[in-house]
């Protein structure tokens, strides 16, 4: 009887934990597109000077491989060089389920990209498995992916 009760309790908790992070197909495509359009349209380079958080590239060691990585907490700016940078803004499914988990990246030329990787608690991590030194924003969008579900960046 104890095994039955324990099995039931653990089963309920595992379903609950899985449901919290299963966001496939819950968001609304029109709401998501409207959010991406709004962020892209309303983006202004002047806003980057208003106490925005700076994102740092770090070297992450996984087994014998060292790869660059960065953590985005909601919003931030990643400087790659004097003339190369990327502005990030994320939405978590937990905050707005109609938009779902999504991050938009806008480079110094105004090019916009998006990534549907899992944003948890407002945080998403990106890693590169194809480049060891990053200097150009276009390299970020080509080589970096979300670390939990390996989602790649897509051009808007």
Q: Supply the pLDDT for residue 2.
A: 53
Asked if the model's pLDDT at residue 156 lies above 50, the reply is yes
Considering the domain boundaries, does residue 4 fall inside one? no
Considering the domain boundaries, does residue 15 fall inside one? no
Backbone φ and ψ for 106, nearest 5 degrees, come out as -125, 125
Considering the domain boundaries, does residue 19 fall inside one? no
Considering the domain boundaries, does residue 6 fall inside one? no
Q: Which domain holds residue 56?
A: 26-155
Longest dimension (CA), the chain: 67
Considering the domain boundaries, does residue 8 fall inside one? no
Total number of domains in the chain: 1
Q: Supply the pLDDT for residue 82.
A: 84
Considering the domain boundaries, does residue 32 fall inside one? yes
Select from 116, 120, 112 the least CA-distant residue to 151.
116
Asked if the model's pLDDT at residue 12 lies above 60, the reply is no
Asked if the model's pLDDT at residue 152 lies above 90, the reply is yes
Interatomic CA distance for residues 36 and 49, integer angstroms? 22
Q: What is the mean pLDDT of residues 53-58?
A: 94
How does residue 9 score in pLDDT terms, banded at 50, 70 and 90?
very low
How does residue 8 score in pLDDT terms, banded at 50, 70 and 90?
very low
Asked if the model's pLDDT at residue 56 lies above 80, the reply is yes
Q: pLDDT exceeding 90 applies to what percent of the chain?
A: 62
| Spatial contact of 57 and 131, defined as CB atoms under 8 Å apart | no
Interatomic CA distance for residues 136 and 109, integer angstroms? 12
Q: What is the mean pLDDT of residues 1-23?
A: 45
Considering the domain boundaries, does residue 10 fall inside one? no
Considering the domain boundaries, does residue 120 fall inside one? yes
Asked if the model's pLDDT at residue 26 lies above 90, the reply is no
Beta-sheet pairing, 112-115 with 54-55: unpaired
pTM of the predicted structure, to 2 decimals: 0.81
């Amino acid at each position: 009887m104890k095994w039955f009760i324990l099995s039931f309790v653990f089963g309920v908790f595992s379903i609950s934990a899985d449901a919290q992070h299963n966001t496939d197909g819950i968001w609304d495509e029109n709401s998501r597109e409207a959010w991406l359009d709004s962020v892209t349209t309303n983006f202004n380079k002047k806003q980057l000077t208003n106490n925005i958080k700076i994102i740092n590239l770090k070297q992450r060691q996984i087994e014998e491989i060292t790869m660059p990585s960065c953590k985005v907490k909601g919003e931030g700016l990643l400087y790659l060089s004097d003339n190369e940078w990327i502005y990030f803004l994320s939405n978590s499914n937990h905050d707005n389920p109609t938009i779902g988990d999504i991050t938009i990246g806008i480079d110094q030329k105004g090019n916009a990209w998006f990534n549907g990787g899992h944003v948890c608690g407002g945080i998403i991590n990106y890693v590169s498995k194809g480049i060891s030194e990053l200097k150009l924003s276009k390299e970020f969008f080509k080589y970096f992916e979300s670390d939990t579900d390996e989602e790649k960046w897509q051009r808007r």
